[in-house]
Structure 1
């Protein structure tokens, strides 16, 4: 009986485990896993399922008391899981370890994880954004792997509660801020990896309290200050230390107590002074183990003779690129050190006036003579010093006469020059002078700069010769977009394993096929060749660029079919070949790219791409697909984006093809899909889709099916705004859904009355008898004498100014038929306003509709001559309508104080005439648009929104530096640094108050004409108050309005402690004054 009971208990538990595993399978795209053996067939024996480990497979001592057939482990790495792990998964009763790493579309939901008794958990490289709930594993978890997840923000406090942890790996997790002192609570740690994050400040002494540490990796962060306060002697068990790629200063530690050390990497910092006399005196090694010590790329100046005490070690000592001038000769016979037996002293460091790629002689590269260079261990040969290279660039490109922002050659501190960035050792690492008026040929010596990583010469009238580009040993990013460069042949000299990763050549009139030399640069991760007049087909050699993550070929004249070799780019995340002349069906290889996130093949000229709409069912990361304006046929596939995250915001643009049939109900599994299918031949929408409130950016929740497709016999494509429903057609229009127009040519009849009759109609339709001022209206006086009416010398009506005049009702569209009308100013009236027929207003230049209850701008793009549009204080919602982009003459646009949302759209770059853009007090979100393609802009106000991210370095890069520029970004959530590139605008009025700004770019605090000369008086405080201070304006504006101490001010530019009365009074008066001045300017 007892035995039977046990059997029943085990059987019940077994059934529960099956249910929980099936839930995991169903919620993470199980049918699309690369290996789902057992799961898909629902085999009886769970222990045979792929990735499932049962207790019977473990050592008996590790699973004491656990039934043999119970699940103790799940290992499904790199298995194309997507979606979200259900919280019920953690109730598996005997779960000990879980590995779901490298499933990029998977979110690991840790809610309820406390129910498990996990000891080992790995979710590296997943889409997990939060570790909330993980502290529930405090007593059991010993190993946590979560590198490469998009955590962002400061170090998660719940991780600090996992006091049983022995292994913690959190590299590349987007962590910022300082390393918390509470890390000392994790006293059992053996290995700690926080590399490749954005950690700042000093390394806390708490790290040296982790006495069991064998591996500590903090490389590639932004850690600073010296290490003198850290007692590394306490880390006696340390074997591997990685602090390279930071901004650490002062002397290097001696590491005199570490006996078991195997690797120390302190390279790429700013350490100075001497290597300690007692350096590594306790280290031991054997002939089978090489100890690696990398001190290269610092500012160390003395090599002590005492290093000879380490002659017994097999020591790979790397000292290149420092400030050493003497090498003690007693070190040159330490034959246990690699290279010394063969090359003696040169095997440690190259002598002065010689160089080698590693700073020392090796079998591959001996030390080569070089006339320049006074330090030992040089890694390059500078034909000229770095100042001379920059001087030559300035002079050769007409610097004195043409550059907008010039370099002061008499100041030899080139690291302070605008657009020049240096490392801690004073080596040039970046040159950024886009759109700066350079002319002529760039000297080829630019590629001799040994530490140059990023070179941006875009949007200048220059040619860039590539003859010596192979000398650029560190160059990772090259931007020559919109220059006159034409000869790409020398690019063949680039090493196939060289440093170049990003190449931008947009707008260069190549006028030929895609250069084969570019397709040979196999290290590229980003290749951008848009608008280059490329012809012919995409070459099959494109498949050689296996590391590509971004490929942009839009706006060319490419023809032919898409090569199947594009499928070889397995790392590709973004691909655009829109606006070309390509044809044919898409290769199956393109449809199975595992890392693709965004694809645009839209708007092909001519026939376009054809064949059935692809489902992309194997692309788990794909979130944006643009295939509109082609010739695709068939129905929308039921398996569309089958592996995508069901809760993610997805966009699929299929409008204007030849699609027919039904929009399938199978797509109802997506919670936030934007599916654009108007302009096709679709006849039915599954009703299940019409109740998904978050579809079409929330429009389906408002307008039902019409938000996806207008019903049959109506026009408009789909409903976007409340007052713009799908309009019935006046003629029979068939059974197709989503027609953009009826096609019957019907228009409202033209009004044939005189100008006076049009004005009389206005009076009657808008309650003229109740107007605040109706002087002379409907009298026998000339209409030019009527209140608010202005005329030209011929007696034609040129302006109507009836603002705040108590107009009500429907504003007649016949007003647009006044042939000479130039200004229409009707703000602050309760009217129903329509833009229908505005194309008849051939001379209308100014339209002021503030506070009129306006809910839509539909049709405004038909105004042929409009230069100024004011629609403040209305009820506009959703995205900025693209209809505005048709206003080619628009100079001033004010959409402030509405409820517009989403981001500032990139299509605004097409509004080349726009000089003033005011969009404050809306609900805009996302990253800040840079307005780089809008050369006439002088006034931008985006204050009081929800913009995030950093201020782009390219913001307003084409603005006229001779003009006064106003840029207000206050009261958003922008973070990081105010970019130094803004120094190109010497008359800038900049407001960044109440954001999350943490620093001001080099050179900005000396821009004497900024902010009405306030920067000349108050320096950096005239731009933004420092952290820990505040003022009513977020910056110092007068002697009696300084930045005052404020403990609440966590970011620069704070107003948090400012006197509320002073702030509000100035703000309100300023707001009213700005509104008044703006209206007067438009009316005038």
Structure 2
């Protein structure tokens, strides 16, 4: 009977109890005729995980081998058929099969056999049917199998790279089989060359003998192959090629030499070539350019013979993002799904592209980026939005090339450690609608070029170390709706030009360091809803003109050095809900009676005034 793990227990001739250890054959009893093929079958069993086969009845017992599962014998008791398909065989194909000289039919389909086909199979010279399909076998069919002159049916399809060599000997051998299922080793290369022919206008070549026909690839003009038919040389100088080299060239895994000298080719050398062990590449006399990314340049520099054009390609978006990843510690990012893969860029985490594959949005907030932004980021000419908030490990300064992002509409760098002064080149980003530089460590004066950002709707420069006067050019930002400059170290008075910001709804300059009087021109801000000017060094009276802020809801003027009476005009603001005046010791006098008419007013604080 069968025991654990395929072990066998039983009686020999009903007398002596015997146990065969797992994988160990039970020696035949006295008088039992031993098949000369028994040893080979035992070796096959042991090499392919026999104890774990789905069906292994009688194997390794003293039963005649013809009664072992899947084994058929001829009239002499020699194995002529071995059928173990769909039986959970593992490991490699055992060379011991070659020790079955009468074997005619071998069925090993639909198992988990891997590795190469052993040449020893050819020793089973009477084999006429061989089924190895649906396994995990790899490599070329060995040349030794040409000796199987009786073979008529051979199926090796659906494996992990198993192929029949594409050479004259195997082509003749295969033509004599009634059934041959499975790829030849040049099948993939043939398709690559067909694509290459199409991409380079093959119909107009000076010489295309053999191309696209049924001849072996070695008979196609300009093509050399190895012993199994894979392309090793593509030699087509001055042959009338035009167009571009397709990326699929990198699928010619055995290619060692490429010569397209003197053809009307342009565009980029395929990045996929870096996967190949090319020793000789020539493309002088064309307009082909070499990609500038580090991987390609290192690969190109290691080639023994390189005759190129000296033309450097513009960086592709994929190259630029790869550089960004490598220079900002991409391997340590919190989220980097699909980065550096061959998937479309739009499937890389945080990257959005348009229909043409151009990068339009890059959103990597709070993601652990480190270091400085590479200058190549300035080449993302279609970038509309960049969000790197919360990556405090990013440091400045921003590269000069960054300010060439002319299509940028939204720039969010809050809590990025830029430091240093704001580059006046910020004025070049004239498409910006949103600029968020809160808590970035910026210092120095605010450059007047900020006034060039005519499309800006929201500007946040809060919680920095900006100093000096606020430039009057800020009044040019006619579309601005939000202006936040709180917690800075500005000096001098607020520019009167702030009153030109007719679309402004929020003005926040709390604790920003400004001095002097409140500009009367703020009364022109008829859409303003919230005004924060508290905790500064503002002096003088509250301008009566602030009564012109017809939509204002909240006014915060506490913590300054304002003086004089409460102006009559502020009592006529119909939407006013809060007003804070405390801490201004110089404010004095009676409150206007019309304050009592403000139905929306819920908070009025004037502690510390007279």
Higher relative contact order (CA 8 A, sep 6+): 2
Q: TM-score, normalised by structure 2?
A: 0.46
Q: TM-score, normalised by structure 1?
A: 0.26
Max Rg structure: 2
